[in-house]
Structure 1
């Protein structure tokens, strides 16, 4: 970072000297120098003070503007072996039909190790090791919603929350199965092979934020506090951090404040 700043500052000094040498007969050249100088000075300010829009590492969202098979985000970190989990996130769907796939976790031996998917006219489903539970969540009103899904291998018990309220629960979902480690977490696409072979008809279109994973089932009060923005609890397995999320294919990052934007339609 320091080396980049030094290079930019050196370029600024060079441009300033050129600006001083430019006379009124070379107004276009002087205009071009001024334009590049302003751009470089803005870049130095970003490096010194952080990029405009958001500064806390978790205060961002991922936007996937079009439903296709190449826009997505990927978490740099994977999961360890898990015997229980809670996965929470904010999302705002812009889909005309099914919600698509907000997230998927694939391992070499199982493409559908953990998937949240609503495809076409089918109900929203949580898949674990290719076993399916239907979730009574309603997320297609083009508004922000906070959702959590929690599961434990003991009897395959699961529960689903929307905006802090438990909407569904059950058992016998992949009972006694251990979530396999060292897979790939993708936001916005369903994986048919490890990290790829996406299907545009199963893609999520909209905005995602605050994706987190815990290695246990959170208490209902903890989930309510996350949805109400009275808690800053971060996942103890996966945290939402700007440096930990890569975007691809035209997906982008922007500022997001859950307590302000999360309640807007």
Structure 2
């Protein structure tokens, strides 16, 4: 009987070791309200990225993705990369910038190239939508709609799919190239399983509309490599001709 406390203590220590190893092996998976926070990607790398865990994993026939980015990059880089586990899975959906004047949206490997306004060292709010029923692809940057295009009418994005920030996937969940990586800040990432209206886009810009597939205010994500969660230092009022910055509180 006198040995029971010792045995209990040993068991507790062993369990603690298992818990520590479980945390190390599984990595950093979290659900967090990211309002007024950013993901900071500090340097060019092929090993640092964020994997988003969607609220649902159903096949997609239409969707909208919105996010805010802030970077000094003058080379091309990925903003939002989605791949599924099927054949030729990379570029299932991709938002890819070639500064200063081009934004590419990829649907099922097909590139749709938009010529955009040049904005150097400015916060950029980007939304892209696609509707399988019509094939219409639409791009909004800082509240401005660019001419609509058509791609992959009738196509369906099958589940499961991998959603990554900070890298461009050349295979499902991998195949990264440091020269395509994002360096800077990304925030306010939302995704919906429908196409947003003009009024919806304005509500997103006003931070009053949250995604139902991915929501920045209830974000499930896994962090790999060197990515930091930091407070957002400046907010902005999105206007059609002028923009004002103010401290985030």
Same fold (TM over 0.5): yes
Give the CA deviation at 1:155.
2.7
Structure with larger RCO (C-alpha < 8 A, sep 6+)? 2
Whether 2:172 is the aligned partner of 1:194: answer: yes
In the alignment, the residues of structure 1 paired with residue 42 and residue 118 of structure 2 have an alpha-carbon distance, to the nearest angstrom, of 17
- Give the TM-score taking structure 1 as reference length: 0.71
| Pick aligned residue for 1:74 from 24, 38, 51 | 51
Q: Is contact 1:136–1:168 with CA below 8 Å preserved after alignment?
A: no
Is the aligned partner of 1:130 residue 2:122? Answer: no
Count of matched residue pairs? 207
Counterpart Cα distance in 1 of 2:63 and 2:117: 22
Q: Kindly indicate which of the two structures has a greater share of residues assigned to strand.
A: 2
Distance (Å, rounded) in 2 between the aligned partners of 1:92 and 1:120: 13
Task: List per-residue Cα deviations over 1:91-136 (Å, max 9, x = no partner).
Answer: 11221222x0011011111121111113589932111110111123
Deviations 1:204-245 (A, max 9, x none): 111100111111110012102322x2x411111111146512
Distance 1:122 1:57 in 2: 30
* Secondary structure in structure 2 of the residue aligned to 1:201: helix
Give the corresponding residue for 2:19.
none
Measure, in 2, the Cα distance between the counterparts of 1:204 and 1:138.
20
Pick the structure with greater CA Rg: 1
Is there any run of 5+ residues in structure 1 with no aligned partner, and where?
Answer: 1-54
**1:92–1:176 Cα change, 3 Å:** same
Runs (4+) of structure 1 exceeding 6 A deviation are none
Shift of 1:246: 2.4
Higher helix share: 1
